[in-house]
Structure 1
Amino acid sequence: MTVGVVAAIVAALAFGTASVMQAHAAARAGADASPIGAMLHPVFIGGMALDAVGFVCTAVASRTLPLFLSQPIISSNLLVTAVLATIVLKVALTRRDRAGIAVAVIALIALGLTSGAEGHDDPGRMLHWALLVGGAALLGGGLLAARARRAALPAALTSGVLFGLMTVAIRIVDGVAPFRLGELLSDPAAYAVVLCGAGGFYLFTAALQTGAVAGAAAAVAVGETVIPGVVGAVLLGDQTRPGWGAVTVVSFIAAIVGAVVVALSDGVAAVE
């Protein structure tokens, strides 16, 4: 479990720092620069490298921790983003922002203390196919919703759910440990990882293009945390410490609420 917790924390730090670096690079490039020009800035490239580190650490955490623990920790990258934004981008945190950060941190500590081992229940091949087919259907619906006039919230919610499905797919995909290429390539969950990850990123970008940054970040935080947490507990056998189930549930909800509050902060809006 220690390896998984460290991986989740590193993922949160990597994602949160990458967001600030990329925003800083875009600001340095200037308003007249093309997106490609901003992406070629060394600081932006460094942020992309951190995103890659974050993805690898997310995979490690998802396969070694209960998903109701790993996902709230990873979603706390919003806390990292908000705090770093006050230093790099000179954005002031409000009292509400500080309260959200405090609630999230306390909830994460409680989750760490009350969670048990990750589950090893076999959900059957049906779940592997359901992730791929469900992800494709959600992506199709999200793409249609993104074309509507008020597309930000539906696109962001769909993006968050897709990220959540991607996390579940990472958890159950076959052929990873030990590595077996043939088994990996024959598993529908492997393709669900790619489809849901790429689709979620595209829809989140579409939501941001409307300017509804805070709402989009909050919606994604909910989707990518709730879906894996529930699936892990119900289908994969993720456990809490005996007698601490209620505390874990309350802490899980509090961690999500704290992340949403921070997602709505000016610090996060200034970065995305």
Structure 2
Amino acid sequence: MIIGLVTAVAASACYGTGSVLQAVGSRRSAQQEAAKGASAAGTTQHGGPSLSSTAKAAVTWEFMVGTVLDFVGFALGALAARMLPLFLSQTVISANLIVTALLSIKLLGIRLNRKEWMSIGVVCAALVLLATAAGHEGSGEAARSTHWWLLAITVVLMGGGWIAVHFLGSKAAILAGLLSGLGFGAIGVGVRILDGIDPFDLPTMLADPALYAIFIAGGVGMYLHTVALQIGSVNGATAALVVGETVLPGIIGVVWLGDTSRAGFAWMAVLGFLLAVAGAVAVAWFGEPDAHSATPAVEKDTPEPTAVA
């Protein structure tokens, strides 16, 4: 349990730091494009970021370092998902919201208001309750049909997210964050039920639909998260991601995979889970109005583009 918690906390730190660095890279890239008069080329007709602008954001050094941290966080999160109940591992990993909020103060020049600080405090209290109430993780054994259902649902959610971002444009920040969170949650479920891990058997692993659900959820989820960071509040997008990667995997873990709380502590687990989700939603709600008002601290010295008469 202790090793699993430490692993989940480390994954949370990697994800939180990675999100802020990716936001810095995304916003620096957007400002450079605007300075070149390329803002129109960087958006779709619906006001969202184009694939080319997202690709340009992805090659900034900040974004690449953030992506490396995400991969490290993924590996640590996958390990934690095998060692802890999903409602605990996913929620602890989702505490990257706190890391994101604190680092965004320094790196993005964002000032958190009192309601955001209170919401973060609620999330912290919820994590304490969950850690106290958590029991043993389930076996992870699931019917083969469950593996196929996971792949099918992942394809529908990620494909729907890709389409929605295209048509909603600049209004899709919270939705993109939520769907990216569902994608990362699908990774947690997939890692738990994946065949061929223990003992390691590569042919068995390659034949498991859950493996391809993990790849699809990871790739498209990362794209949607990048879009959310480009067009919305970094704290709001991350909070929406928290809800997506916490709620559904937690429910699946308890209902289908045998995750349990300690005897007599079920009420505490439920309370902690609800508080964690409520706190994350509150951060998204209170933080979203400032989505375009904060100027990244790293870009303060960049000259404004000169208007052409």
**1:27-57 deviation line (CA, Å, top 9, x unaligned):** 6667225766654554443322211111111
Q: 2 CA distance for matches of 1:239 and 1:257?
A: 22
Equivalent pair of 2:240/2:280 in contact (CA under 8 Å): no
Runs (5+) with no aligned partner, structure 1: none
Which stretch shifts more, 215-224 or 150-159? 150-159
Equivalent pair of 1:75/1:221 in contact (CA under 8 Å): yes
Is it true that 1:66 corresponds to 2:85 in the alignment?
yes
Which stretch shifts more, 31-40 or 1-10? 31-40
Is it true that 1:199 corresponds to 2:215 in the alignment?
no
Equivalent pair of 2:23/2:234 in contact (CA under 8 Å): no
TM-score under structure 2 normalisation?
0.78
Which stretch shifts more, 210-219 or 18-27? 210-219
Q: Match for residue 221 of structure 1? A: 242
Equivalent pair of 2:11/2:73 in contact (CA under 8 Å): yes
Q: Match for residue 8 of structure 2? A: 8
Q: Which amino acid aligns with 2:129?
A: A
Q: Match for residue 91 of structure 1? A: 110
Equivalent pair of 1:78/1:263 in contact (CA under 8 Å): no
Q: Match for residue 272 of structure 2? A: 251
Which stretch shifts more, 226-235 or 75-84? 75-84
Q: Which amino acid aligns with 2:162?
A: L
Q: Which amino acid aligns with 1:73?
A: V
SS in 2 for 1:72: helix
Q: 2 CA distance for matches of 1:102 and 1:9?
A: 17
- In the TM superposition, what is the alpha-carbon distance from 1:170 to its structure 2 partner? 1.1
Q: Match for residue 146 of structure 1? A: 165
Matching of residues 1-272 of structure 1 within 5 Å: 1-25=1-25, 31-32=31-32, 39-120=58-139, 122-149=141-168, 152=172, 153-208=174-229, 210-211=231-232, 216-264=237-285, 266=287, 269=291
Which stretch shifts more, 1-10 or 206-215? 206-215
SS in 2 for 1:19: helix
Q: Which amino acid aligns with 1:6?
A: V
SS in 2 for 1:175: coil
Equivalent pair of 1:58/1:74 in contact (CA under 8 Å): yes
**1:106-127 deviation line (CA, Å, top 9, x unaligned):** 1101111110010115221111
Asked which structure has the greater CA Rg, the reply is 2
Which stretch shifts more, 42-51 or 164-173? 42-51
Q: 1 CA distance for matches of 2:115 and 2:175?
A: 26
- In the TM superposition, what is the alpha-carbon distance from 1:25 to its structure 2 partner? 4.5
SS in 2 for 1:119: coil
Q: 2 CA distance for matches of 1:263 and 1:60?
A: 28
Relative to 1, partners in 2 of residues 1:239 and 1:57: Cα closer, same or farther, differing over 3 Å? same
SS in 2 for 1:31: helix
Q: 1 CA distance for matches of 2:259 and 2:8?
A: 16
Q: CA RMSD in A?
A: 2.7
Aligned pairs, how many? 271
SS in 1 for 2:167: coil
- In the TM superposition, what is the alpha-carbon distance from 1:19 to its structure 2 partner? 2.1
- In the TM superposition, what is the alpha-carbon distance from 1:165 to its structure 2 partner? 1.8
Equivalent pair of 2:54/2:226 in contact (CA under 8 Å): no
